[in-house]
Amino acid sequence: MPYLFTSESVSEGHPDKVADQISDALIDHFLAYDAKSKVACETLVTTGQVVLAGEVKSEAYLDVQDIAREVIRKIGYTKSEYMFEANSCGILSAIHEQSPDINQGVDRQQPEEQGAGDQGMMFGYATKETENYMPLALDLAHKLLQELAAVRRENKDITYLRPDAKSQVTIEYSDDNKPVRIDTIVISTQHDDFDKDDAMLGKIKADMINIVVPRVKAKLKPELQALFNDKITYHINPTGKFVIGGPHGDTGLTGRKIIVDTYGGKGAHGGGAFSGKDPSKVDRSAAYATRHIAKNLVAAGLCEEVLVQVSYAIGVARPCGLYINTYGTAKVGLTDGEIARKVEEIFDMRPYSIEQRLKLRNPIYSETAAYGHMGRDHQVVTKVFNKGKQTEKKVEVELFTWEKLDYVEKVKQAFGL
């Protein structure tokens, strides 16, 4: 019997994502000036206020207030009526030095024996459902909000948008787990205040359905465009007005959107957030590494869908275990356990090896902090830190290295594909 599956996304202006982006901007600045920095930084945002807290071990000295304001400005909180504005919000920093008890479990004389920064389990997932090997519902939810942000910045077709927004997409699947059609699309977008609310709510709904959705659809492959139909149920700003939003409408915290950041509820999640953590924290680095494994396994033709789990003990380099679940889609005559043993031989999952393989000691994290950490485009860019200041620094980096299909041939060779 057909079934429905739903995933959601939130915009860069959502309060939790504002917090994530500030935390990751701090990570990037620390790593740009000291690649050995150890950072765990949390951010809280609320009406007119930003609070920074966490632990840092670094040779770099940062103007954290200036960094936070620049992030807020870039997102679009630049008007006083938002009750949270880049130039006027208060910023309190309670960042202090990292505990030596934690650091002694991570640092080693031999770098490759670097211990895991914490215990826990991390998951990676990939599926043939989309070109970027991501679950379709989440991919569409992200694309809707990325397009909405583009429309907001253009300020041409739609001129009343504010930064905060959420989306949700429900897909109908057939018995053999193939997407059949889009069942429901939900978009809630913050907007300017209006005199005639009823008329404007109608206009917002029409603009989302007739402008934003078609722009997203036009960028998809024909087989995905075919999933759009005249029976889609639309819920556009279903509560009515959405003028009060962002950190003024809801307090935001780093790490509260971990399902949006990963696979939209498909596969599994170990519970650890990413933003604000340097790559010695396996919550982040091992989650990227398991995604890298999963994507390369599916791209190599080993299976159509796969979940990869790795687990660690704090201060110990070698993982406690590696688990593979191909959901019965494996194309080789091996059990999932046997596949896992071979995968362990291909991918070194010690924390230092992950950092080196995926080039994680570079300032590459601000770009991950909105619209998902997985399924993004691998690219090389030049980033500028402290622009126009004496300490200005330009760094060329690779973004989303865990999305590279650079192990496909090794997987094919190992499994005789």
Please state the residue numbers annotated as binding site: 14, 16, 42, 55, 98, 164-166, 241-242, 250, 256-257, 273, 277, 281
Beta strands in 174-282 (DSSP E): 179-191, 233-236, 252-253
**From the annotation, which residues make up the binding site for K(+)?**
42
**From the annotation, which residues make up the binding site for ATP?**
14, 164-166, 241-242, 250, 256-257, 273, 277
Which residues, 6+ apart, have CB-to-CB distance to 162 below 8 Å?
A: 13, 76, 82, 152, 189, 190, 191, 192, 243, 245, 246
Helix (H) or strand (E) holding 124: strand 120-127
**From the annotation, which residues make up the binding site for Mg(2+)?**
16
135, 194, 191: which is closest to 7 by C-alpha?
Answer: 135
What is the pairing mode between strands 233-236 and 179-191?
A: parallel
Q: Are 305 and 133 contacting, i.e. CB atoms less than 8 angstroms apart?
A: no
CA distance to 33, 36, 61, 121, per residue, from 58 (Å): 9, 7, 8, 27
d(CA 316, CA 350): 9
Give the Cβ contact number of residue 271 at 10 Å. 12
**From the annotation, which residues make up the binding site for L-methionine?**
55, 98, 250, 281
> What angle separates helix 282-299 from helix 408-415, to the nearest 10 degrees?
60
d(CA 38, CA 346): 28
Contacts 24+ apart (CB under 8 A), 131-134: 131/221, 132/375, 132/376, 132/403, 133/294, 133/295, 133/298, 133/299, 133/375, 134/263, 134/372, 134/374, 134/375
d(CA 194, CA 206): 16
232: DSSP letter: -
Task: Read off the tokens for 357.
Answer: 């393989």
d(CA 378, CA 402): 8
Helix (H) or strand (E) holding 9: strand 3-10
Please state the length of the chain.
417
